[in-house]
Amino acid sequence: MSRLLVVEDDQQIGTLIESALRANGHTVDWARTGAAALDLVDRHSFELVLLDLGLPDTDGLHVCREIRMREPDCVLVMLTARREEMDVIVGLEAGADDYLTKPFGLTELLARVRAHLRRASGKGAAQQTVFQSSDLRIEFDARRCEIRGTEVRLRGKEFDLLARLAADAGHAVSRETLMADVWDTNWFGSTKTLDVHMASLRRRLSDAAARLDPPAVLPPITTLRGHGYRLEVSAAPRR
């Protein structure tokens, strides 16, 4: 199976998570401090990291950023007691792919782990090779997003979300379909993570477009209340 890292200072919670992951066949390392976690990341390669943000020795967001720099391809899931949306957005901006708020159930945790590892293995690749609309260009195989020739750095789930909308550009894609295709076919529970990732994706694209001179033109992502989202198909790219 996969090699996972658990970063959790609470003995009881850490023991439960480690035991559950090992019971599901994973190799698990457990760090109780941020320093120990970074040391393990330097010595081993991990497919997924479960990171508690409330660490005793350092800011969990700093550890998040460091892990993302050192392990750019690993899946990073925050474990946090911070429930405010802005706290979650800050964590995602620091490099996390997803989050779980405490208290959480082991069933949900294991479902998230399975979903992320399945996605990381490459399941569900898009059929198209390239999507172009206005100044936005998406290269599916290369996992590259460009705005008027300038690459935009997106986190893994942000790119997956944009690519899934682009695969059905001009058509409505339901929330359930996005959760199933971008996260996991057996996803259950809250879809709040979809809203957070969508807000972050829109902000990254908008900021990147605004930095160009003149500002780039992007196909809008329309929110369909009570249903989902639609990536609009726009005219030829601006010259």
> What are 78-132's pLDDT values in tens digits?
998 866 666 777 888 888 888 888 888 888 888 888 878 877 765 444 445 889 9
Report whether pLDDT(239) > 60.
Answer: no
Structure tokens at 224: 């369909």
* pTM for the predicted model, two decimal places: 0.58
> How far apart, in Å, are the Cα atoms of 52 and each of 22, 131, 148, 169?
19, 37, 38, 37
Mean pLDDT over the full length of the chain? 86
The encoded tokens of residue 114 equal 């399975």
- The structural architecture, per CATH, of the domain 130-231 is Orthogonal Bundle (1.10)
In this structure, which topology does domain 3-120 adopt according to CATH?
Rossmann fold (3.40.50)
- Give the pLDDT band (50/70/90) at residue 76: very high
**% of the chain at pLDDT higher than 70:** 88
pLDDT, tens digit, for every residue of 144-166?
999 999 999 998 889 999 998 99
Ordered by start, the domain boundaries in the chain are 3-120, 130-231
pLDDT digits (tens, 9 = 90+) for 173-203: 888 888 877 876 455 555 678 888 999 999 9
Tokens of 201: 């994706």
